[in-house]
Amino acid sequence: MNKNKSGWVIGAIVVVLLIALFILSRFTNPKSVLAKQWNEAGIECINEATARLQTHIHPLLRISVDGVNELVPAELGIIPNCTAELHTHDGNGTIHLESTRPNASFMLKDFFTVWGKTIDREGYDLMMIVDGTPNMELGELVMKDHQEIQLSYAKRPASAETTDGQAGDQ
């Protein structure tokens, strides 16, 4: 193969690979995958600038792990062209529940869906306090305006016994 022909073949291969990568990235964009997951969980995208909000509430979520405060990240639920009905703006723990649906309600697990996590953490016991009172609803808790939710995770001892008498964390 002469030099000109091999250079043309290599160039063609590079162009085909670039086109394939572009197409693949359009269909596997992690941000569009997030919006799809939210939608499948019943959480819609809104346009905060133009949406006519019917529901707008702000519960406060605090998380501690082994007594150390953990930040709820800023900008959760906000991606280009989509702001989830449950989202954060800053890292102060305020969850914004904004919906065009009148009287829309969401559970704590819905926020964790937007976050891409579950409320449970492997190897940890969870205690939840809502407005100063212990609460066992956990993910099923329906969030309300100005509600204060405290999740406290404590590392389960490696030798802890379970209710069936077997050692935990197996």
Least confident of 69-78, 83-92, 151-160: 151-160
Q: Are residues 53 and 136 in the same domain?
A: yes
Q: Read off the pLDDT of residues 62-82 as tens digits, 9 standing for 90 and up.
A: 999 999 999 999 999 999 888
Q: Phi and psi (nearest 5°) for 12?
A: -65, -40
Is 142 among the domain residues? yes
Cα 79 from Cα 50, distance rounded (Å): 16
Is 166 among the domain residues? no
For all residues of the chain together, what is the average pLDDT?
Answer: 85
Is 161 among the domain residues? no
Q: Which helix (H) or strand (E) holds 127?
A: strand 124-130
pLDDT value at position 81?
Answer: 84
Q: Are residues 117 and 82 in the same domain?
A: yes
Exposed e or buried b per residue across 105-126, where buried means at least 16 C-beta atoms within 10 angstroms of its C-beta:
ebbbbbbbbbbeeebeeeeeee
Burial of 83 from C-beta contacts in 10 A (0-12 / 13-18 / 19+): buried
Q: Give the strand pairing for 148-155 and 60-65.
A: parallel
Total count of domains within the chain: 2
Measured at the alpha carbon of residue 129, what is the angle toward residues 58 and 126, in degrees to the nearest 5?
Answer: 115
pLDDT value at position 138?
Answer: 95
Q: Which domain holds residue 10?
A: 3-30
pTM: 0.73
Cα 156 from Cα 107, distance rounded (Å): 26
CATH number of the domain encompassing residue 127: 2.170.130
Identify the residue with better confidence: 31 or 53: 53
Q: Are residues 25 and 89 in the same domain?
A: no
